[in-house]
Structure 1
Amino acid sequence: MTYCCGVLVRDGLVMIADTRTNAGLDNISTFRKLHVFEEPGHHVLAIACAGNLSVSQSVISLLHEGVEDHEAGERHQLRDARTMFQAAQLVGTAIRQVHRVNGDVMEQSSVNFDVSFLLGGQIAGGPLRLFMIYNAGNFIECTPDTPFLQIGEHKYGKPVLDRAVSYEMEIADALKTSLISMDSTMRSNLGVGLPIDVLVVCPDKLHSELKYRIEPGEPYFHDLRERWSAALRAAHTSIPRPPYMKDVRSLTRESAERQREET
């Protein structure tokens, strides 16, 4: 189980990923799920992964070592991609290559070939882009209309992003909202947990603006969690009760009076 999120706004890209893997209540481990491919001045690419850990690690290894092109007799590494679209295609090809090797054996062992990726970043000469790549190797691209993509255990963190994220928001606010989304997921699903890896990329800088790991007990994230919980409680208290429902105490008194009359 995992949760990864990418937010692409006018000011830049935020990608976050937890590090928890869960193969049973007595087998919980920490593995990095946000991988950065960076050559300052030429490209900065980040891949977040969710699903079967063995499959995602095989895909990442192929992208480092090279995906075989049997027709051309060549290997293509992610760093060789000339556009973000080509990079997304290469990730899809790597997924299909791993499936050709391992898919049937995994199916025979009743293991699902389940994996998905977020690919975000910029290559010199092109724009900053964000893609979500499915386990069949096909993909979609983030747009200003919906400037975020999620993989893994996404349902608990999505309402926060739906309400708060816009393409025009500042990059610091995009990071803050992403962390609130992560906290909401962690509160509702024990399969998602710290540490959290964070990446921030600004347009045309061609290097990572921020690479950071949030460890358990990190002061800012702890404060953010407490403030968000307090803000929700305060918002709930400040909203008037539904006008079409009587005060519960009045209903209780009326019920007690009826019971006394009946006895």
Structure 2
Amino acid sequence: MTYCVGLRLNKGLVFMSDTRTNSGVDNISQFKKLFTWCVPGERVITLLTSGNLATTQTVVSMIDERAKAPEDRSPSVFEAPSMFEAARHVGQMLRDVIRNSSPNGMRGDSTFDATILLGGQIRGGEPRLYLIYPEGNFLEASEDTPFFQIGETKYGRPIIIRAYDPEMSFEDAIKLLLVSFDSTIKANLSVGLPLDLMTYEKDSFEIGHTRRIKADDPYYMTVSEGWGDALKKAFNELPDFKF
């Protein structure tokens, strides 16, 4: 399983993903799930993946190969005039990879399924964030839905809904996401550290802050322990139930 989040703020975008993959409790590995491409001054595109690892790695490799071969006339996120078109290109790649991997064509229950978060900014447009489904279609984040999650979403969702503010700083957004991921990690063994983090500041057209957060990271340990203590304190301060 996995857990990835893309968060839209007024000042830009924040992305975070875990790195755990597993095929059973005795076969656990670490793989990167957050990928970023940058054409300085012109575009920054970030992709987060969930689902079949072979499928997602193929999509990432296709994007890389098309960047190295400009003579290839296949649709490319590096030539897309807008983030909407970039999302269309990635959706088409994802759909084609799943179809080619499935012996009987695409099915709703295909073991080759994968889901992708795509975010970034291309000069001339605003920062945008998309959730791309295995079928290739997608949704865009909006004021009503300012963040997307993929993978094991249910445990980390409540804190984001309660505490998210579009005006929050990158620092507060990272703290919020660390609480969300900590809640998920404690509730589900299929999600685990280290975590990959990336921020993008609106109109900068360059990669922002990036970091890999390991289990012994001092700040992560402080957030994890502090959040647990804060929950216990808040619970104890609630009025007692009376029969």
The interval holding the TM-score normalised by the smaller chain is over 0.9
Matched ranges for 1:237-252 at <5 A: 237-242=236-241, 245-246=242-243
Matching of residues 167-186 of structure 1 within 5 Å: 167-186=166-185
The one-letter code matched in structure 2 to 1:228 is W
Distance 1:118 1:75 in 2: 21
Q: Is the 8 A contact 2:98 2:106 kept in 1?
A: no
Aligned to 1:225: 224
Residue in 2 that maps onto 1:37: 37
Contact 2:99 2:105 in 1 (8 A): no
Please identify which structure carries the higher helix content. Answer: 1
In the TM superposition, what whole-angstrom CA distance separates every residue of 1:123-146 from its partner, at most 9, and x where no partner exists?
Answer: 111111100000000000111222
Does the C-alpha gap of structure 1 residues 105 and 12 become closer, same or farther in structure 2, counting only changes over 3 Å?
Answer: same
Describe the shift of the 1:107–1:209 C-alpha distance in structure 2 as closer, same or farther (beyond 3 A): closer
Give the match's secondary structure for 1:76: coil
Structure 2: give runs of 5+ residues left out of the alignment: none
CA distance in 2, matches of 1:92, 1:228: 37
TM-score, normalising length from structure 1? 0.86
Match of 1:124 in 2: 123
Q: TM-score, normalised by structure 2?
A: 0.93
What corresponds to 1:3 in structure 2? 3
C-alpha separation between the residues in 2 aligned to 1:146 and 1:237?
33
How many angstroms does 1:66 deviate by? 3.1
| 2:2/2:21 contact within 8 Å kept | yes
- Over 3 Å counting, the alpha-carbon distance change for 1:133 and 1:224 in structure 2 is same
**Count of residue correspondences:** 238
Question: Hey, what's the Cα distance between the residues in 2 that align with 1:101 and 1:47?
Answer: 21
Report the secondary structure of 2:149's partner residue.
strand
> Does structure 1 conserve the Cα–Cα contact (< 8 Å) formed by 2:2 and 2:20?
yes
2:143 maps to a residue whose letter is P
SS of 2:102 mapped into structure 1: helix
- For 1:136, the equivalent position in structure 2 comes to 135
| Structure 1 residue 169, shift from structure 2 partner | 2.2
**CA offsets, 1:143-194, max 9 Å, x none?**
1222111000000000111111122222221121111111110010010001
Aligned to 1:96, what secondary structure does the other structure show?
Answer: helix
Aligned partner of residue 127 in structure 1, secondary structure: coil
Q: Within 5 A, what are the aligned runs for 1:50-65? A: 50-65=50-65
Q: How does 1:247-258 map to 2 (within 5 A)?
A: none
Contact kept, 8 Å, 1:106 with 1:113, in 2: the verdict is no
Which is higher, the Rg of structure 1 or of structure 2? 1
